[in-house]
Structure formats: structure tokens, C-alpha cells
Amino acid sequence: MDFNLSEQEKMVQRTAREFALKSVLPRATDIDHRGEFPVDLAEEMGRLGFRGLPYPEQYGGIGAGYTSYALAMEQISGASMTVGAIMAINTVPEEALLCFGSEEQKRGFLFPLAKGNKLACIAFTEAETGSDPAAITTTARWSDNTYIITGQKHFVALAPAANLALLFAKDDTKRLSAFILDTSSPGFVLREPCPTMGLKGLGTSVIYLDEVVVPPENLLGEKGKGFDVLLTAISLGRLGVAVEGVGVAQAALELSLDYAQQHKARGKPIAQMPTIQWILAEMASRIEAGRWLAYQTAFLRNQGEDIRKESAIAKLFCSQMAVEVTRLGMQVHGSYGCMESLPIERLYRDAKISEIYVGVSEMQRAIIAAYLLE
Ligand SMILES: Cc1cc2nc3c(=O)[nH]c(=O)nc-3n(C[C@H](O)[C@H](O)[C@H](O)COP(=O)(O)OP(=O)(O)OC[C@H]3O[C@@H](n4cnc5c(N)ncnc54)[C@H](O)[C@@H]3O)c2cc1C
């Protein structure tokens, strides 16, 4: 592995940092307090090319690779994990299309997504399950040469703004199939939001599918093999969550360093206390370990490798790291760490969700253990 970044990767990282500091950071508290999906920032990420970074130019992307993707998302997530998550979630359907789409599907669906002209969500979770594909109850009935999709999906992030949805349903063989749906199709109904403690403004919502007619050319991959599509595409989602964790944790460290040098106890900045120094050092070392784990996973994906195991390891480690580092950051801030007027408590709330969404930590451990024991 080459530990040096290429000129293109450095440029992407710089551009993302500028965007994060100028456009995202000043809005982060407002997005969190109001809980409104930041449509303009999603559009700006599209114009800047962040929504298609790893994908080939012929399919609307920048062709800058997955390391660039990780570098950009780390910067953006440090300013607002919600905005980083918008970029990450939109990439999951893109990855599914790249790996399983026909040439026509890549040109018709991946191109406008990677170009930033359209946004896509992923609809897997239902009221009864977010982890078990066998428990999915949404159906795709074959009738008159079309699929008719009926069911309900819960916790669909990006839903109010998405033009397309990567949706998983049971076909008439009772196996999972993957579909690309146009969200303006009759019967595709955006319902109530799912208010969450963190990642506010992500547009996480319930969707009803009331006999949505989907043409066969919108089936992604082979009929009945939707689980393969899910496992591959969600691997990139896990890498995304790992990187979000690194960005949020780094932001917590930077805030804590500033605070510790300014806030005084017994007449001296608390940064001079060995206990505070211990916490800061602990935070920094954990972030560094998570960062390189995430970069290595991105590097492997760049080499065309299957990252199912590595992305589970990176997500498990980085999400736990982010929760612990943001918790330590709150400790450095004392009572001010609990106040809504300072950003550190938002980082903690956002970090906690990284242990849950795109697969709970227990699922990641189950995946890793299965690889270890096979
Ligand atoms: C902010 C947010 C955004 C989200 N965005 C999306 C989205 O865009 N699209 C989407 O489809 N979903 C989305 N989700 C849903 C999320 O991915 C699922 O809720 C998550 O995967 C967990 O599923 P669950 O809630 O059904 O938990 P369950 O599967 O019911 O698990 C509950 C608990 O049971 C245990 N458990 C479950 N299964 C296992 C297992 N196999 N091995 C060991 N222990 C297990 C674990 O301890 C787990 O924490 C989002 C959720 C949130 C909070």
C-alpha cells in the first residue's frame, strides 16, 4: 500500500475541506436544530463532483477513486455528519449500479446520479427488520410483463429529496430482488419522518409502496439475487459510515484541543493538566487507528477487491471509536459539553447512530466472525 496521496487525491481533499469550512460548517447547527434536509448543500456537492467521485467519467463520475471519496467525506462529515451521510448514502445505489447494472442502466441511472443531477436513496429496512433479509415483507409481483411492488419501508434516509430508490422486495420465488424505482411513480408515497436523536436533517422517512408499477428493465442484477446486490453495495455504505466516524471524531478532537487551551481551572488552562492531556492523547491515537483502517479499505476497493470483510471491520471499529472519542471530548468540555449551544454534544449524538445504521455493530461482528471461521 502506498501511504502517499496522489496529487489528485490531495486536490480533492483540499476542495472538500474548503467546501466543508465555507459552506457546511456555518450551517451545521441550524441543520441539527431545524432537522430540515439541506437541499442546497446536496446540490452543491453534486456540482462539485462529490456525488460521483469514484465512478468512471463515462458514467457521469470524476474517476478519482475510492480513496478520494473517503478523503472528501472525512472533511465534509467533520463539518456535519448529516451532510457527509447524504454523500455516503447516495453512493450506495451508485455502487450497486456500477457492479450489477447493465450498460443501459449505467447510462440511464448511474450517469445522472454521479453527475449530481439526481439523488438516490436505499429502501431496505421495514417496521419489523433492518437486519434480516428473510423477514422482508415488501413484495414484487410479476403481472402483465411488469413488477407490481407493494409494502412499506422505514428509516429511508434522503427520501424527501431522492429521485430514485434502490429498493429490495421479495419476488414470486420468495427471494430478494433489487429494483431501481423512480420516486415519482404513482403509488410511491412519502409518509411521516422518523425523528432521530442524531443525523437530523437526513430526511429519514417512512415510504408506502402502493402497487407501484416497475418495468422489468428496472430489475437490478438477476431476479432473486438481490441479496448479492445488497451485500456488495452496502459494503461501500459501511466504508462511508467508517469515514463519517473518523470525520466526526477528528472534529471532536479539534474542538477539545481549542477548549482545553482556553478554559482555565485553578488559574491555568486545563490543557496543562495530565488528566486532560491523557484524554486528548487517547482521542488522537484512536482516531489515527480508525483513519488508516478506513483508508486501507478504500485503497483495497480501488484495487477492485471485495471489501465485505474489511468494510465490516472498519465500520465496527470506527463507529465505536467515534462514540468513545466524542464522549471523551464532552468530558474535556465539562458541563459546557452537555450544552446545546456548543457543537460537541451534536457530534456525540451523531456518532451514536453510526453504531446502528447501515447494519448494527452486532451484525458487523457476525459478518467478521463468519469470515474468520470459514
Ligand atoms: C438515521 C438512520 C438512517 C437510516 N437510513 C436507512 C436507509 O437509508 N435505508 C434503510 O433501509 N435503512 C436505514 N436505516 C435503518 C437501519 O439501517 C436499521 O434500523 C439498522 O440496520 C438496524 O435494524 P433494526 O432497527 O431492524 O434492528 P434489529 O435488526 O431489530 O436489531 C436490534 C438489535 O438486535 C440485535 N441483532 C439483530 N440482528 C442480529 C444478528 N444477526 N446478530 C446479532 N445480533 C443481532 C442487535 O443487538 C441489534 O442492535 C436508518 C436508520 C437510522 C437510525
Q: Which class for 304: exposed (0-12), middle (13-18), buried (19 or more C-beta within 10 A)?
A: exposed
Residue 2: pLDDT over 80: no
212 and 328, same domain (yes or no): no
Instruction: Please tell me whether residues 148 and 217 are part of one structural domain.
Output: yes
Which residues does a 6 A CB cutoff place in the pocket of ligand 1? 89, 121-125, 129-131, 155-157, 196, 199, 202, 204, 353, 356-360, 362-363, 366
Q: What is the mean pLDDT of residues 82-105?
A: 98
| pLDDT the model gives residue 329 | 98
Q: Calculate mean pLDDT across residues 345-360.
A: 98
Counting residues of the chain whose pLDDT is more than 70, the rounded percentage is 100
Q: CATH number of the domain at 170, please.
A: 2.40.110.10
**Residue with CA nearest ligand 1 atom 5:** 157
Q: Are residues 25 and 83 in the same domain?
A: yes
Within-domain flag for 246: yes
pLDDT at 174: 94
Do 54 and 174 share a domain, yes or no? no
Domain final position from 87, 102, 119: 119
Say if residue 357 is in the same domain as residue 315: yes
Domain-located, residue 135: yes
Model confidence pLDDT, tens digit, residues 106-143: 999 999 999 999 999 999 999 999 999 999 999 999 99
Domain end (from 176, 193, 223): 223
Q: Does 233 share its domain with 369?
A: yes
Residue 314 covered by a domain: yes
Average pLDDT score over residue span 350-359: 98
Instruction: Indicate whether 363 and 287 sit together in one domain.
Output: yes
pLDDT range class, residue 35, cuts 50, 70, 90: very high
CATH number at residue 58: 1.10.540.10
Average pLDDT, the chain: 97
**Shared-domain flag, residues 112 and 176:** no
User: Does 183 share its domain with 289?
Assistant: no
- Choosing from 125, 183, 194 the residue with most ligand 1 atoms within 8 A of its CB, the one to mutate for a pocket test is 125
Is pLDDT above 90 for 1?
no
pLDDT at 3 over 90: no
254 and 360 housed in the same domain? yes
Task: Give the cell for residue 315.
Answer: 465500520
Considering only CA atoms, which residue is closest to atom 16 of ligand 1? 357
pLDDT digits (tens, 9 = 90+) for 150-197: 999 999 999 999 999 999 999 999 999 999 999 999 999 999 999 999
For residue 144, what are the domain limits? 121-223
Distance 124 CA to ligand 1 centre (A): 10
Is there a contact between 275 and 285 (Cβ–Cβ < 8 Å)? Answer: no
Split into its structural domains, the chain has a count of 3
What is the tens place of the pLDDT at every residue in 246-295?
999 999 999 999 999 999 999 999 999 999 999 999 999 999 999 999 99
Place of cell 453512493: 91
Which atom of ligand 1 lies closest to the CA of 157? 8
Tell me: do 232 and 209 sit in the same domain.
Answer: no
Look up the CATH number of the domain holding residue 258.
1.20.140.10
CB of 45 within 8 A of CB of 24?
no
Residues 112 and 162 in one domain: no
Q: How far apart, in Å, are the Cα atoms of 317 and each of 190, 248, 311, 312, 352?
A: 34, 14, 10, 9, 13
**Protein residue with least CA distance to atom 30, ligand 1:** 129
Judge whether 2 lies within some domain.
Answer: no
